[in-house]
Structure 1
Amino acid sequence: MHSLHILLVTGLLCVAAWRDLTTRTIPDAVCLLLVSIGVVVRAAEGWQAAGLSLVAALLLFCVLLLVAMRGVLGGGDVKLASAVALGLSPTQGWDFVYVTAMIGGVLGVAYLAGPHLTPRLAPIAGAALPRRLIAVEAWRLRRRGPVPYGIAIAGGGILVLLALPGH
């Protein structure tokens, strides 16, 4: 179950990161599946473990909601981070927040420096996907578009999952 859990959650987080990068949205279905998996995994460890994770995830949701209300994060980021935290113990949840913040800091610096470092490529129909993606991101960077923070959340979740005992 442990390896399957990590594989499923990693796959879902990769989908969330990709969608956030390409469309700046995080699908509700991904978050709902993460919540379902998290509840099953934590309940398998006991209802007390599930309850503690629920409380920790709700606290994280409330804090991130306040941050989102100030325009720093998007609603998709709030729901994705909370869904990931639900599947972790409170201690692992703290590790997740820390690792996500570190990855997010690097991502933020990259997006701040990006307008000065990216070439002015125009998206070309039929061009290879990486070239089109770079061109679109360069355009977003020059216009100070939103940072796809779902990438940091996914990275934090995956790294914490891979650090779980037994993996």
Structure 2
Amino acid sequence: MIPCVCVLLLAYAALHDVVGRTIPNGVPASLAALGCLRAALAHTIAPSLWIATMIFLAATLAWRKGLLGGGDVKLLAAISLVVTPHEVPVLLISISMVGGMLAILYVFAGKVLPQPQPVRPRHLVRRAIRAELWRVHRRGPLPYAVAIALGTMTQIVGH
């Protein structure tokens, strides 16, 4: 049950990040609560909280340098609670690999995708696609919640 809810929350965070480059605070809060429940049931709450705190501090430093968004910082710390402490290194590697692929995709997309049309479409999905094309062509920030979500999903679904 917990993994399914986590996957849905991660999908929502990724979609929200693509459309608006924000992650609602309720998503990391819900993931953290589910992660704490999982850790309590597995009797690993102390090491899980310690690891999540260290990840939060490291990610905060990345945020201060402009490398991550604030929502990404909270999401990274929260998802570190969703997996067991010994799975966190693999989780971080998985997220990094997906993030690298996402960056390559965005660089490639900027070279092959057309410029966005000046007319703003009425349909929400078309407006979101237009906004993303605009970000790609102007080398805007990546929606890193996508990398966090996909990297975490591979870890969760793999078990």
| TM-score bracket for the superposition, by shorter chain length | over 0.9
Letter in 2 for 1:163: G
Partner of 1:23: 20
**TM score, norm. by length of structure 1:** 0.89
Show the counterpart of 2:106.
Answer: 111
The CA RMSD measured in Å over matched residues stands at 1.4
1:50 aligns with 2:45: yes
Letter in 2 for 1:66: L
- Percent of pairs with identical residues: 33
Following TM superposition, by how much is the alpha carbon of 1:151 offset from its aligned partner in structure 2, in angstroms? Answer: 0.2
Question: Superposed, which structure 2 residues align to 1:34-113 within 5 Å?
Answer: 34-46=31-43, 49-113=44-108
Counterparts of 2:72 and 2:59, CA distance in 1 = 8
Q: Note the C-alpha offset of 1:114.
A: 2.2
1:126 to 119, 122, 125: 122
Aligned residues: 158
- SS in structure 1 at match of 2:33: helix
Q: Using the TM superposition, give the Cα deviation of residue 96 of structure 1 relative to its aligned residue in structure 2, in angstroms.
A: 1.0
CA–CA distance in 2 between the matches of 1:115 and 1:163?
A: 32
- Stretches of structure 1 that go unaligned for 5 or more consecutive residues are none
Q: CA deviation at 1:128?
A: 7.2
In the TM superposition, residue 126 of structure 1 has moved relative to its aligned partner by 3.0
* C-alpha distance after superposition, 1:89-110 (max 9, x if no partner): 1221111101000000000111
Residue in structure 1 matched with residue 4 of structure 2 by the alignment: 7
1:8–1:125 distance in 2 versus 1, CA, 3 Å = same
2:30 paired with 1:33: yes
Q: Aligned-pair distance for 1:10? A: 0.4
Which structure 2 segments of 5+ residues have no match? Answer: none
In the TM superposition, structure 1's runs of 4+ consecutive aligned residues that sit over 6 Å from their partners are none
Letter in 2 for 1:22: V
Normalising by structure 2, we get a TM-score of 0.93
The CA deviation at 1:17 is 0.3
